Structure 1
Amino acid sequence: MLPIRELLLGASYPNSLAAVLDLAAISLRTYQPQWSGFLTAPEQEECLNRLNQLIELTVISNGGFPQAERRRLRLERFEHFTSDPASNQQTPQELPEQMPPAEQFKLLEISGNFLFDPAEAIDFRQALQADGLGVAELGDVLVRGDRGALAVVSPLAAIALIGKPIQVRTVLCAVAETGWERLPSQMPKPKQITSVEASLRLDAVASAGFAISRNRMAELIRSGKVRIDWKVITNPSRELKPEERVQLEGRGELKLESAMLTKRDRWRLSMLRNF
Structure 2
Amino acid sequence: MLPRQNLLEGSRSPAELGALIDLAEQALRTWQPRWSLFVAAAVAEEAIERLGPLSELSLASDGGWPQAERRRLRFNRRQPGGEEAPSDDLVPIAALELAGNFLFDPAEASDFRSALLAAGADAEELGDLWVHGDRGAQLLATPELAERLLEIAAQGPWLVRTVPVQVEPLAIEQLQFPSRRAPKRLNSVEASRRLDAVASAGFGMSRGRMVELIRAGVVRLNWAAVSSPSRELVVGDRIQLENRGELMIEAVEPTKRERWRLVMLRR
Q: Do residues 175 (structure 1) and 167 (structure 2) align?
A: yes
- Paired with 2:106 and 2:69, the residues of 1 have a C-alpha distance of 23
Distance 1:223 1:132, change over 3 A: closer
SS of match in other structure, 2:47: helix
**Matching residue's letter, 2:120:** G
- Paired with 1:57 and 1:43, the residues of 2 have a C-alpha distance of 18
Q: Which residue of 1 aligns with 2:63?
A: 63
Deviations 1:231-258 (A, max 9, x none): 2222222110000001112211000001
- Paired with 1:235 and 1:5, the residues of 2 have a C-alpha distance of 34
- Paired with 2:209 and 2:180, the residues of 1 have a C-alpha distance of 27
Judge conservation of contact 1:164–1:174 (CA < 8 Å) in 2. no
- Paired with 1:44 and 1:232, the residues of 2 have a C-alpha distance of 16
**Equivalent residue in structure 2 for 1:229, among 217, 222, 228:** 222
**Matching residue's letter, 2:208:** N
Q: Which residue of 1 aligns with 2:236?
A: 243
Q: Do residues 266 (structure 1) and 256 (structure 2) align?
A: no
Distance 1:12 1:103, change over 3 A: closer
- Paired with 2:97 and 2:63, the residues of 1 have a C-alpha distance of 16
**Matching residue's letter, 1:64:** G
Distance 1:258 1:248, change over 3 A: same
Q: Which residue of 1 aligns with 2:139?
A: 151
Q: Which residue of 2 aligns with 1:46?
A: 46
* Higher mean C-alpha displacement, 63-72 vs 213-222: 213-222
Unaligned ranges ≥5, structure 1:
83-100
**Matching residue's letter, 2:106:** P
With normalisation by structure 1, the TM-score equals 0.85
Distance 1:171 1:39, change over 3 A: same
Distance 1:158 1:211, change over 3 A: same
Distance 1:236 1:185, change over 3 A: closer
Q: How many residues align?
A: 256
**Matching residue's letter, 2:256:** K
With normalisation by structure 2, the TM-score equals 0.88
Deviations 1:67-115 (A, max 9, x none): 2211111112243449xxxxxxxxxxxxxxxxxx655011011112222
